[in-house]
Structure 1
Amino acid sequence: MTDPIDPSGVRGSLADVLAALGRAETPAGDQDEQEPPIGTGEAVDGRVRVRAVLPGRIESLELDPSVLRLNGEELAREIESAVNAALADLQGRAVATAGTASLGALTDQLKEIQLNAERQFAKLTASLVEAQEQLARRAGDR
């Protein structure tokens, strides 16, 4: 069985970050607790908004009703763009806090981000395909 297609490239970029963090990993000292980073992303002039939290989970996806006029492929592309932006923002914020956080723990979190993002993209794609098929069936029934 082949690996699922990764049109977003998230798997590759997160794998690169994990490799770099693995090479730079050092023992953690005593550090203050910090608020976990939050990533945000937008598409279609802010009409699609995404919020990502560790370990790479999409916390919220907000769609302005006007984006529902887009066809399924365009909507999927815009959602993917906003999700990628949120995950990239989360990744940047997580790396920025790495100076004060354990790189070992951050590496583990980024591994979880990678796994969860892959699962979420697969679910999102399947849901969008199913919705598009339902719309096509409904259009054929009329």
Structure 2
Amino acid sequence: MAHPVDPSGLGRVLSETMSALGQFTAGAESDAPPPEGHGEAADGLVQVTVGPPGRITALTLDPRAMRMASESLAEEVTEAVNAALADLQEKVTAVPGQIDLGSLGDQLRKIQEDAGRQFSAFTDALVEAQDRLARQGGK
């Protein structure tokens, strides 16, 4: 005799799925402003701010920087931009509340396995009920 199907088990699996997806979308819909990276060079005469996906949002040159040779100024700007990009990359990888996709994938695999067992039990119960009805109707 098959065990009765627990409909709350199916509800639990669906609830866990929605919860896991809710965690993912909550992280994606954060109200926090996008991170910025800051860098400087030439003792602060060159300052750069960057934002995702690696765009320069501000470049400030102190008037004294304009007295530098063009090659030197270009090197200092490059150094400041690279420092700002490194700062942005560090901030993006350390965003608090960021969803661990590996962990989310593990949770969803477990939920999928649980759902598979629940649906299998549900199907078995339906087949058994159909067989019982067919036997009763044949008597």
Give the TM-score taking structure 2 as reference length.
0.50
Q: Deviations over 1:24-67 (max 9, x none)?
A: xxx87232403211000000111100000011100010000101
**Structure 1 partner of 2:41:** 43
Alignment of 1:34-73 (within 5 A): 34-73=32-71
Question: Among the aligned pairs, what percent are the same residue?
Answer: 47
**Structure 2 partner of 1:112:** none
**Structure 2 partner of 1:29:** 24
Q: Deviations over 1:107-129 (max 9, x none)?
A: xxxxxxxxxxxxxxxxxxxxxxx
Conserved 8 A contact 1:31-1:100: no
**Structure 2 partner of 1:75:** 73
Q: Whose Rg is larger? A: 2
Structure 1 moving runs of 4+ over 2 Å? none
What are structure 1's unaligned runs of at least 5 residues?
Answer: 1-26, 104-142
SS in structure 2 of the partner of residue 88 of structure 1: helix
Alignment of 1:1-142 (within 5 A): 29-32=24-27, 33=30, 34-97=32-95, 100-101=98-99
Conserved 8 A contact 1:41-1:49: yes
Q: Counterpart of 1:81 in structure 2: which amino acid?
A: E
What are structure 2's unaligned runs of at least 5 residues?
Answer: 1-20, 102-139
In the TM superposition, what is the alpha-carbon distance from 1:101 to its structure 2 partner? 4.4
Question: Which has the larger helix fraction?
Answer: 2
Q: Deviations over 1:75-121 (max 9, x none)?
A: 00000000000000001001111751476xxxxxxxxxxxxxxxxxx
Distance 1:101 1:83 in 2: 28
SS in structure 2 of the partner of residue 97 of structure 1: coil
How many pairs are equivalent? 78
